[in-house]
């Protein structure tokens, strides 16, 4: 019982903070007195909430004293959402070119409830199969895209993946320490790979795609038969794939250098 009141107060504060964002979205700008009246709270309460939003750059003060408007943080959050929505469209021309250049199957995948879901696919002329991966959910630890997504995932996603490492082939990594070591390598060199870890005879390489905030929002991969996409060819192929990933990243709003 003792924790119920603080929790209720926290929920109320969040609700009021969101209401402030709504007010500023509708009015363009407003002062503390106006916001307090709209929320039916004391000015000190409104000022405290505005201060919290200002720290997160969701609200900023304009030149006129006491007036506030939505801050750049809103643009950053909106940009992250827009990048995800634009990703299939913006990645298509790059993936199509990569599939032609590498003459293998190229996919873009995103993190989806503990697995990697493919959202874009193009085939090279040498592709030995026209298997459709779009919409297919694949394990993170056994695919190149999944490993890349895991390398930059949050702790909860990583912990969940480490707890559910099913073996698909004799080469599938099921050791926590080995996978963590490989994720470190992926972050250092900028790309990941699998060698017959999901299916016998299938190799793949993937590189990270970043959104406007710099966060990894997807992975672009190339896959092909192990006799053609050999382990020895990985570094050279990865260089081309990383260039394609950087181009997709810039098309969805990332202009950094990481």
Contacts of residue 195, Cβ cutoff 8 Å, sequence gap at least 6: 171, 203, 226, 231
Could you tell me which CATH number the domain at 80-251 has? 3.30.450.40
Q: 0.85 exceeded by the pTM?
A: no
* Strand-pair category, 216-225 with 59-61: unpaired
Say how far apart CA 70 and CA 55 lie, in whole Å. Answer: 12
Chain region(s) in the chain for CATH 3.30.450.40 = 80-251
Say how far apart CA 19 and CA 34 lie, in whole Å. Answer: 13
Tens digit of pLDDT at every position of the chain (258 positions) = 444 456 676 788 888 989 999 998 888 888 999 999 999 999 899 989 998 998 888 888 886 566 888 887 776 666 555 556 678 888 999 999 999 999 999 999 999 888 899 988 998 887 655 567 677 789 999 999 999 999 999 888 899 889 889 999 999 999 999 999 999 999 999 999 999 999 999 999 999 999 888 899 999 999 999 999 999 999 999 999 999 999 999 888 887 755
Asked if residues 16 and 49 have their Cβ atoms less than 8 Å apart, the reply is yes
Count the residues in the chain: 258
Say how far apart CA 258 and CA 255 lie, in whole Å. Answer: 9
Sole residue written with tokens 């390598």: 185
Chain region(s) in the chain for CATH 1.10.10.10 = 4-70
Say how far apart CA 231 and CA 240 lie, in whole Å. Answer: 15
- Please say whether the structural domain 4-70 has been given the CATH code 1.10.10.10: yes
Say how far apart CA 235 and CA 133 lie, in whole Å. Answer: 24
Q: Phi, psi (5° rounding) for residue 157? A: -65, -40
Say how far apart CA 105 and CA 120 lie, in whole Å. Answer: 11
């Amino acid at each position: 019982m003792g924790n119920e009141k603080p929790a209720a107060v926290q929920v109320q504060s969040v609700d009021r903070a969101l209401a402030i964002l709504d007010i500023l979205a509708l009015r363009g700008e407003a002062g503390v007195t106006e916001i307090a009246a709209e929320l039916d709270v004391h000015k000190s309460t409104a000022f405290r909430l505005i201060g919290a939003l200002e720290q997160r750059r969701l609200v900023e003060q304009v030149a006129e004293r006491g007036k506030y408007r939505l801050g750049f943080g809103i643009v950053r959050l909106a940009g992250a959402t827009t990048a995800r929505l634009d990703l299939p469209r913006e990645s298509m021309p790059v993936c199509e070119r990569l599939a032609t250049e590498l003459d293998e199957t190229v996919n873009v995948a995103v993190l989806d409830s503990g697995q990697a879901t493919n959202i874009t696919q193009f085939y090279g002329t040498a592709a030995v199969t026209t298997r459709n991966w779009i919409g297919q959910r694949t394990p993170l630890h056994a695919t190149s895209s999944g490993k890349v997504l895991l390398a930059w995932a949050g702790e909860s996603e990583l912990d969940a993946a480490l707890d559910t490492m099913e073996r698909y082939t004799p080469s599938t990594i099921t050791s926590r320490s080995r996978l963590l070591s490989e994720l470190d390598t992926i972050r250092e060199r900028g790309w990941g790979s699998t060698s017959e870890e999901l299916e016998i005879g299938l190799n793949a390489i993937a590189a990270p795609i970043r959104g406007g905030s710099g966060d990894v929002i997807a992975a672009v991969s190339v896959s092909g038969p192990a006799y053609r996409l050999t382990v020895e060819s990985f570094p050279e192929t990865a260089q081309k794939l990383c260039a394609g990933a950087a181009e997709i990243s810039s098309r969805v709003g990332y202009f950094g250098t990481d």
